[in-house]
Amino acid sequence: MRNENMTHTNHRLVWVFFVCKKRSGIMSRLYKYRMILRFILMANILFIFIVAGLGYEKEKREHLLKPVSGNVGKRLTPVGKTVGIYVNTKGILVIDTCDVTDLYGNTTSPAKNKLIKGDYITALNSEKISTKKQLINEITKCDGKDLDFSVDRNGKKINVVVSPVETGVNMYKIGIWVRDDLQGLGTVTYVENGKFGALGHSITDSDTGKLMKVSGGKLYLADIYGVEKGISGTPGEIEGMITYDDDNVVGSIEENKLYGIYGSVTDDFLQSISDEESLEVADESEVTEGNAQIQTFVSGEKTLYDIQIVNIHKNKNGDKEMEIKVTDKRLITLTGGIVQGMSGSPIIQNEKIIGAVTHVFVNDPTRGYAIFIDKMYKQ
């Protein structure tokens, strides 16, 4: 019994072992299948991640390559007020040379081919000078001795020696026309945090045609009493009176650049425009041909006048990037269109400040040019 039982038991053990071994083989294969499936699943997931990652990187690169306006969210307060402008030259500007007659009736030109149009005289005999009055005094008392001028010529510092001519008893001249300051009317385009931009173009000397190097200047209140209307062939102008005293100062000019003059305004000036709302700065890519408005105080109060942007010259150097036409009958009746003194008047389109008036067509005062505010502001 014991042996049979044992045998039976042994058979049982063998069978159990065989079954277990058989099940173990099945389990092993199932395990392998699971591992293969897991591997395939992980490979698919990894592939998806790689593809998604590549797509993200591509999208990221494409995003980085897209042009983005540097003016996103930037806001300026458009102004349009006409002000008096006074600038001092950085030295005394030579406009031209001329002949002088000496005591004996001889005509000569002492400075010819020595001092030239566009030179800035900064010192005489090593003494700094900045006004015409100083220059005249120094030449008058030179007693006929050679004069050593320190000159800024196209950015280079040079020295020029000129021999004066006695034109009267103890009176000496060297035969030059000079300028040491410039005055006029212009329009403030915008204000931002107490800083202003105006004109939309540089202040250039009318005789030399060159950008004036300025040492500083002031903005003054201007009493506008009328407008000389523009007609074909004759541009009009704003007529006003400027009192150059400290009580009338509304700003300080710090820079004269290619696309405008820049500086700071007084608290009183800021108070005078405190009701004005700031506008978003438009990128030049947002500017379109069609309807727009000029903001100006030429009538005595702030008014928006309708204009048309008839042509856009993108990527054009200078301050003639938009060709504009005044269509508002109110402004045409008042001024004839665009007049001198309106340079800098802000242009608004789609509730954004897009540019400033810079030029008027002589043969048609209703037409003119403007600069993108984007270019003027970035400068």
CATH topology for 75-86+181-378 is: Thrombin, subunit H (2.40.10)
| Average pLDDT of span 348-366 | 96
- 363 class by beta-carbon count within 10 Å (0-12 exposed, 13-18 middle, 19+ buried): exposed
Nearest-5° Cα angle at 156, 163 to 172: 20
Compute how many other C-beta atoms are within 10 angstroms of the C-beta atom of residue 331: 24
Helix/strand/coil for 339 = coil
| Average pLDDT of span 202-219 | 90
Residue 363 C-alpha from the chain's centroid: 28
Please give the helix or strand (H or E) that residue 312 lies within, else none: strand 303-312
**What is the per-residue pLDDT for 32?**
52
Q: Taking the domains of the chain in order of start, what are their residue ranges?
A: 17-66, 75-86+181-378, 99-174
**What is the per-residue pLDDT for 174?**
96
Q: What is the mean pLDDT of the chain?
A: 84
**What is the per-residue pLDDT for 1?**
37
Query: Which residue, 138, 162, 134, is CA-closest to 149?
Result: 162
- 309 class by beta-carbon count within 10 Å (0-12 exposed, 13-18 middle, 19+ buried): buried
Catalogue the active-site residues: 201, 328, 343
Q: Which of 45-54, 179-188, 333-342, 356-365 has the lowest mean pLDDT?
A: 45-54
| Average pLDDT of span 325-353 | 97
- Please indicate whether residue 304 or residue 27 has the higher confidence score (pLDDT): 304
Integer Cα distance of 305 and 357 in angstroms:
13
Residues linked to residue 183 through DSSP beta bridges, in sequence order? 86
Q: What are phi and psi of 271, to 5 degrees?
A: -65, -35
Q: Which CATH number fits domain 99-174: 2.30.42.10, 2.40.50.140, 3.40.50.720, 3.40.50.880?
A: 2.30.42.10
pLDDT of residue 70 exceeding 60: no
- Please indicate whether residue 266 or residue 50 has the higher confidence score (pLDDT): 266
pTM: 0.77
**What is the per-residue pLDDT for 42?**
53
| Average pLDDT of span 28-38 | 52
- In the DSSP assignment, the letter for residue 286 is G
pLDDT of residue 354 exceeding 60: yes
pLDDT of residue 81 exceeding 70: yes
b/e per residue, 10-29, with b = 16+ CB within 10 A? eeeeeeeeeeeeeeeeeeee
* Total residues belonging to the chain: 379
When pLDDT is cut at 50, 70 and 90, the band that residue 35 belongs to is low
Handedness of CA 311, 315, 320, 321 (dihedral sign): positive
> Which amino acid is present at 181?
D
**What is the per-residue pLDDT for 210?**
85
- Please indicate whether residue 71 or residue 117 has the higher confidence score (pLDDT): 117
**What is the per-residue pLDDT for 322?**
95
**What is the per-residue pLDDT for 318?**
77
